[in-house]
Structures are given as C-alpha cells and as structure tokens.
Amino acid sequence: MQKFIYLSAGILLVAACQNVGYSRSAYQEKLENTVGKSAAYLYGSWGQPQQIIPVADNTYLAVYYSAESQPVADDYQPYAGELSYAAMAVPNYGLPLPPPLFYCKTAFVIRNNIITDFNFNGDDCY
C-alpha cells in the first residue's frame, strides 16, 4: 500500500510540473521574436515602458500596460488564466456599472541591454 501511495504522489508531482496546455498565441510568437534583440530595439518599437523594475546587477524588467474599454478586434475571448471569485462580488446598490476593462501586461527581462525573456498576462494581449 505504501508503494502505491509513493507512486501516486510521484505521478501527481510530475503531472503538476507539466505545461498547463495553453496553445501558443500569435502574441507569444511576436514576443519570442524580440528575445536576443537590444533594449534600444524594444524602446524603438514599443516606446518607453510604463515601469522599470530593477532585478539584479545589469538586469531589469521593462513593463508595458494597456487598458481599453473595448477589446482589440472585438475579440471577447477571456484570458485563459483568469480567476473569478463570486465571494468577492460587490453589489452596485442600484448605481450604473463601470464599463468593462480589457487589459494586457507585458514584461521583458533585459540583461546587459539584451532582451532575454518575457512574460505577459491579461485578456487583451495582441
């Protein structure tokens, strides 16, 4: 019985480390094309970041945010990693609801003035 428990725990651990299975998006491919390019290239094509976060010597994050009241290209597909908590719902007390907000946050890791990695999240990354 103990072997079965260890085997089951091992299988669960391996499964937890596997890719969640999200398909690669065109946006992800666009970002992959920036890896290996200079910070000057990033700033020339994306503009100045809204936030710069120092991480270590010669390494920082360049963070870009976008927020729109309408989704890009009227694509209402939700963000695959979005969580919704009904317990956190707040009544509007009869007041009009605020318009929906569609956002995207993209961060580039820049080490020695070269883009080495990226990350993004949001429901409107294109």
Q: How many CB atoms lie within 10 A of CB 81?
A: 10
For the stretch 88-119, pLDDT in tens is 555 667 777 666 677 888 999 999 999 999 99
d(CA 62, CA 50) in angstroms, rounded, equals: 8
For the stretch 9-59, pLDDT in tens is 444 444 444 444 445 678 888 999 999 999 999 999 999 999 999 999 999
The model carries a pTM of 0.62
The secondary structure of residue 113, as a DSSP letter, is: T
The secondary structure of residue 4, as a DSSP letter, is: H
CA-CA distances (angstroms) from residue 29 to 5, 45, 71, 73, 118? 41, 16, 20, 18, 11
